[in-house]
Amino acid sequence: MSINAHTKLVSLLGYPVEHSLSPLIHNTAFEAQGLNCAYVAFSVAPEAIEQAVAGLVALGFLGSNVTVPHKQAVLPLMDELSPQARAVGAVNTIVCRRTQEEVTLFGDNTDVAGFLEPLQPVQGKLEGAEVVVLGAGGAARAVVYALLSTFRPKRLTIAARTRTRAEGLAHDLSGYDENQALHVMSLDEARSAVRNSTLLVNATPVGMHPHSDGTPWPDAGDFSREQIVYDLIYKPEATRLLQDASARGAQTIGGLDMLILQAAASYIQWTNQPMPLDVVRKALQQAGIGRQA
Ligand code: NAP
């Protein structure tokens, strides 16, 4: 990639950002498509986020990703929000829309689309189904909104370590709960909900590298053939949760596709180009993320 006076920039604003795979994903895609663009990660302290967003406009950036802890803080800095960003209450993608007269900032949340796309092949099973989401943090928020607005589940249980956090999530998203499906419980109360669920989603970091012997649901006997178990963790690709579920005949989905597809949903808004997914997947494999080809 050669950087010159025409190079257009995209950033990641987070704190910290050193662990992020987004620079690898997006720069691989820019290079594969011969786009004169570069993606740079910036560690921005909370008190500097407003200045950083103003800098995107001043410096002609195409846009930015936003990650922890700024996803909520940038909301009021946007001129327009997608329905997903407004519902989830978090922006992970900023698009700088330029006309000759002005620049407007569009805030989106592509975690919603990234989460839903791997569920497309099983969507028939999920309409009106019973679902359990483990965890009540930022990712769970996008997942619960995605499930409510797409599948209108009969029952959607949020099971979390900190019950009050789950209650807050359920309260915030109650406006999208047409079937009065939302229920909140602590993890140790969730056994029958897990057993009866068609889809179980892990939105906690339990089982993530380097603690990959951990699992958010140690009772593997609660999984069955009829279930789909979806772990948002992408490293390792086959978490202990997914291994346990698969051993009991459940269908499993790992977090790597969501990682790539949420990035692709941002990329197309900055470049008007679909992300070259195979090239990106290969670059991630070379970096030790996902199966070797
Ligand atoms: P977060 O905002 O910090 O929320 C984490 C949630 O997990 C909270 O509810 C937290 O409970 C719970 N939790 C943490 N440790 C736990 C433990 N030992 N036992 C039980 N519950 C525990 O994190 P997040 O941003 O939502 O991310 C959650 C996971 O999703 C991470 O592994 C992240 O890598 C993954 N993720 C993947 C993608 C993707 O593209 N594949 C996208 C986003 C996130 P408390 O409230 O009690 O702390």
pLDDT (average), residues 127-152: 97
- Give pLDDT tens digits for 168-184: 999 999 999 999 999 99
- 13's enclosing H/E stretch is strand 8-14
- Check whether 243 has a pLDDT greater than 60: yes
How many Å apart are CA 148 and CA 173, to the nearest integer?
9
Band of residue 2 on the pLDDT scale cut at 50, 70, 90 = confident
| Bridge partners, 11 (sequence order) | 40, 64
pLDDT of amino acid 293 = 40
With a 6 A CB cut-off, is 259 part of the ligand 1 pocket?
A: yes
- Check whether 162 has a pLDDT greater than 70: yes
* Both structure tokens of 62: 């195409």
pLDDT of amino acid 290 = 85
What is the residue-averaged pLDDT of the chain? Answer: 97
Q: List the Cα angle 243/245/250 in 5-degree steps.
A: 125
How many Å apart are CA 143 and CA 88, to the nearest integer?
9
- For ligand 1, the distance from its centroid to the CA atom of residue 272, given in whole angstroms, is 31
- Give pLDDT tens digits for 86-132: 999 999 999 999 999 999 999 999 999 999 999 999 999 999 999 99
How many Å apart are CA 133 and CA 182, to the nearest integer?
11
Active site residues: 71
Sequence-ordered strand ranges (E) for 33-172: 37-43, 63-66, 80-81, 93-98, 103-108, 130-134, 155-160
- For ligand 1, the distance from its centroid to the CA atom of residue 231, given in whole angstroms, is 11
* Both structure tokens of 166: 């789950």
